[in-house]
Amino acid sequence: MPAFWLTVIVLALAALAAYLGRARALGAAGGDVRKLHSLPKYYGSFAALSTALPAIGVLAVWLIAQPMLIERSVAAMLPVDSASEGADASLMMSDVRRVSEGLSLAVAAGSLSEAQAGSALTGLRETLNDVGIALGGDIVPEVLQAAQRYRAADMRADFWRMLAVLMLAGAGLAFALSKIDPEFRARNGVERVVLALLMTAASLAILTTLGIVLSMIFETRNFFGLHSWKDFFFGVKWAPNFRGDSDLSILPLLWGTIYISIIALLVSVPIGLFAAIFLSEYAGPKTRGVAKPLLEILAGIPTIVYGLFALLTVGPLLLRTFGGGGYLGVDWMSGATAVLTARDGHHADPFRILPV
């Protein structure tokens, strides 16, 4: 069962638990709310949280751990030396996942039977292409066998995941109903759970920052293990190459950043400063009341949105205007240059410095 529908079922069980918990509390009190320690809604909330939280927590952990464990068990079937030139184990594992997904889609579409999906099949690449899985090359036997094993393990894990989540939700519902009585402090239990959820949400920012820092440290160590630090800090060429022998120096990147920053400042500082002076000193109340909220909305939009707009609209416009065969008949912009110019254009955002 897909994780989406499993989540829907758990939420439906939680809604049922909320109704049953409230009804059980009222029934135990003989319909007299004054005999209950907490309001009836807290009993329902306690039952819903007891049903949903453990099940959804296990589901989330399972979704993260399942692919990693399956890939670890399948990786032994992928000898790297049997891969095509330029490929490695990670690329082969990506092919394994795509072939496994394609086999499942082909079986669901009726293009393959379960027996055919579990055995070697000629013309498999064309069959997978028909269901929307495009592969860059022919499927080697090792990848096909690993994909078949990956798919079988994934199907078994999905079944046990569904069973574990539903059983845990049912156990949480039974536990909550067994605890409900007029003396049960449902409000205290709900508040403790909500407090734990808020603390967990607050700690996510810290954990995310820590993860980013550790990731940068480890990736930096791996990078300098493959590339000379002297070339990186003192080289003058930036030419990444996926086939190897890349020239990766930071000086061109620093110069490009400084260059674009200067252009952005030349554009944004005068416009932003003059607009701020106008709104502060010369604009009337009506004009300021309309312009200021609009500028605040524009300032709240992430700059990546402006960059995407420039990439999709300004870039093609510049290419049509100044590119080869353009309206102005010049050829100073073409292809990647136009795209890079459009991408860098979002840095010139005058709304970021308006002190209004």
Which pLDDT score is estimated for 354? Answer: 43
Q: Does residue 112 form part of some domain? A: yes
| Residue found under tokens 């036997």 | 141
- Do 22 and 136 fall into the same domain? yes
Cα dihedral sign for 223, 226, 230, 234? negative
pLDDT tens-digit readout, 58-100: 999 988 888 888 888 777 776 655 444 444 666 777 777 777 7
Q: Mean pLDDT over residues 338-350, rounded?
A: 44
Residues 18 and 126 in one domain: yes
Which residue range(s) make up the domain with 178? 3-184
Can you give the pLDDT at residue 167?
Answer: 92
Question: Does residue 23 share a domain with residue 109?
Answer: yes
User: End-to-end CA distance of the chain, in Å?
Assistant: 53
Q: What is the pLDDT of residue 108?
A: 73
Measured CA to CA, the distance from residue 317 to residue 348 in angstroms comes to 18
Number of compact structural domains in the chain:
2
**Pairwise CA distance, residues 162 & 9, whole Å:** 10
27 plus 172 within the same structural domain: yes
Is the predicted pLDDT of residue 351 greater than 60, yes or no?
no
> pLDDT band at residue 120, thresholds of 50, 70 and 90?
low
pTM, full prediction: 0.58
Specify whether 141 is located in the same domain as 285.
no
Predicted pLDDT at 349:
45
Give the mean model confidence (pLDDT) for residues 337-352: 44
Claim to verify: residue 46 and residue 121 sit in the same structural domain: yes
Structure confidence by residue, pLDDT tens digits, 275-331: 888 888 888 888 888 888 888 888 888 888 888 888 888 777 777 776 655 555 555
Q: Are 261 and 347 in contact (CB under 8 A)?
A: yes
> Percent of the chain scored above 90 by pLDDT?
7
Q: What is the mean pLDDT of residues 177-188?
A: 85
Among candidate residues 260, 221, 237, the one with its CA nearest the CA of residue 347: 260
Domain boundary among 184, 214, 233: 184
Could you report the per-residue pLDDT of 240-286, keeping only the tens digit for each? 776 667 778 888 888 888 988 898 889 888 888 888 888 888 888 88
Residue 284 lies in a domain: yes
225 in a structural domain = no
Lowest model confidence (mean pLDDT) among 44-53, 145-154, 165-174, 332-341: 332-341
pLDDT number for residue 210: 92
Mean pLDDT of the chain: 77
Task: Give 333: exposed, middle or buried? Use CB within 10 Å, 0-12, 13-18, 19+.
Answer: buried
The answer to whether residues 312 and 171 belong to one domain is: no
Q: Is there a domain that residue 235 lies in?
A: no
One domain, residues 163 and 253: no
**Do residues 288 and 141 share a domain?**
no
Query: SS in 3 state form for 217-258?
Result: HHHHHHHHHHCCHHHHHHCCCEECCCCCCCEECHHHHHHHHH
Residues 157 and 260 in one domain: no
Q: Are residues 113 and 14 in the same domain?
A: yes
pLDDT of residue 281: 85
**Do 30 and 138 have their domain in common?**
yes
**Is residue 347 over pLDDT 70?**
no
Residue type, 27: G
Rounded Cα gap, residues 107 and 115, in angstroms: 10
What's the pLDDT score for residue 214? 92
Q: Which of 184, 203, 224 is the last residue of a domain?
A: 184
Domain contains 237: no
**pLDDT given at position 345:** 44
Residue 207 lies inside a defined structural domain of this protein? no
Cα distances from 152 to residues 62, 69, 147, in angstroms, run: 17, 13, 9
Q: What is the pLDDT of residue 123?
A: 65
Pick the last residue of a domain from 135, 159, 184: 184
